[in-house]
Amino acid sequence: MKSLRFIVPLALFGILVFFLWRGLRLDPHEVPSPLIDKPAPRFALARLDDAGAKIGRDDMLGKVWLLNVWASWCVACREEHATLLAFAQTRAVPIIGLNYKDTRADGLAWLNQFGNPYTASAFDANGRVGIDFGVYGVPETFVIDKQGVIRFKQIGPLTPEAIETRIQPLLRKLNG
């Protein structure tokens, strides 16, 4: 019986391999099906730059818009930032930022330093709204249509390629 404990590391490793194998088939950048074509979770949060003003899903009804989840502590957000800034300059649709599990000072300083592509940013300090949206790895980007329904989700940094091949065609379709 005593020698059974020497099998424990092997058993633990077996479990780990199983999960890693499952993980290989899950693409962290892939669209998870449950949220697509469902109404976006309703939220109303204080704005990052103005604690007194609120912004929420219902303010955006009637418009096609992008929700981009970001944080100052997120290294990958820096990677996508240039892409996002360039996209914002095309003024195709409003981009609402969801500043996720961050502090107001850090978030604002980050925007000051690297540039602000957002029409406005909602301040989600405890990450409650992020959880409603099923945020997995910051950054994430959602395309939400005029009825407030999620039509597309990108997990991980936006790339110029993703914008060109997936987001822009979708926006053209949604905007008629």
Partner 1 sequence: MIPELGQIALLLALAVACIQGTLPLVGAARGRADWMALARPAAQTHFVLVAVAFICLTSAFVRNDFSVVYVATNSNSALPLAYRVAGVWGGHEGSLLLWLMMLSVWMLAVAQFSRYLPQAVLARILAVMGLVSVGFLLFMLTTSNPFDRLFPVPPDGNDLNPLLQDPGMVVHPPMLYMGYVGFSVAFAFAVAALIGGNLDATWARWTRPWTTAAWAFLTVGIMLGSMWAYYVLGWGGWWFWDPVENASFMPWLAGTALIHSLAVTEKRGAFKSWTVLLAIVAFSLSLLGTFLVRSGVLSSVHAFATDPRRGLFILAFLAVVIGGSLVLYAWRAPKVGLGSRFGLLSRETLLLANNVLFVVAMLSVLLGTLYPLLLDALGMGKISVGPPYFDTVFLPLMVPVVFLLGIGPLARWKNAELPDLAKRLRWAAVAAVVVALATGWIAGRITFGATLGFLMAFWIVAAVATDLWERVRPAGAMRTSVVARLRLLPRATVGMMLAHLGVAAFAFGVSMVRTYEIERDVKMAVGDSTELAGYVFNFGGMSEVVGPNYDAVQARVDVTRNGSPVVTMRPEKRIYRVQRNPMTEAAIDPGPTRDLYVSLGEPVDEGRAWIVRVYFKPFVDWIWGGCLLMALGGALAASDRRYRAKQRQEREAGSTAGATA
Q: Which stretches of the chain bind partner 1, using CB under 8 A? A: 2-3, 6-7, 9-10, 13-14, 16-17, 19-24, 26-29, 32, 71-76, 78-79, 82, 101, 109-110, 112-115, 130-131, 134-138, 155-156
Nearer to partner 1 among residue 13 and residue 42 (C-beta)? 13
Handedness of CA 43, 49, 51, 52 (dihedral sign): negative
Give the amino acid at 145. Answer: D
User: What CA–CA distance (Å, rounded) separates 132 from 130?
Assistant: 5
Tell the smallest beta-carbon distance from residue 172 to partner 1 (Å): 25
Tell the smallest beta-carbon distance from residue 84 to partner 1 (Å): 12
Nearer to partner 1 among residue 10 and residue 176 (C-beta)? 10
Look at the block and give the residue holding tokens 């999960």.
19
Nearer to partner 1 among residue 61 and residue 131 (C-beta)? 131
Tell the smallest beta-carbon distance from residue 112 to partner 1 (Å): 5
Tell the smallest beta-carbon distance from residue 54 to partner 1 (Å): 25
* Collapsed DSSP state (helix, strand, coil) of residue 24: helix
User: What are the distances in angstroms from CA 56 to CA 27, 45, 142?
Assistant: 30, 6, 14
H or E stretch at 63: none
Burial of 4 (0-12, 13-18, 19+ CB in 10 A): exposed
Distance of CA 16 to the CA centre of its chain: 27
Nearer to partner 1 among residue 23 and residue 62 (C-beta)? 23
Nearer to partner 1 among residue 89 and residue 176 (C-beta)? 89
Tell the smallest beta-carbon distance from residue 75 to partner 1 (Å): 4
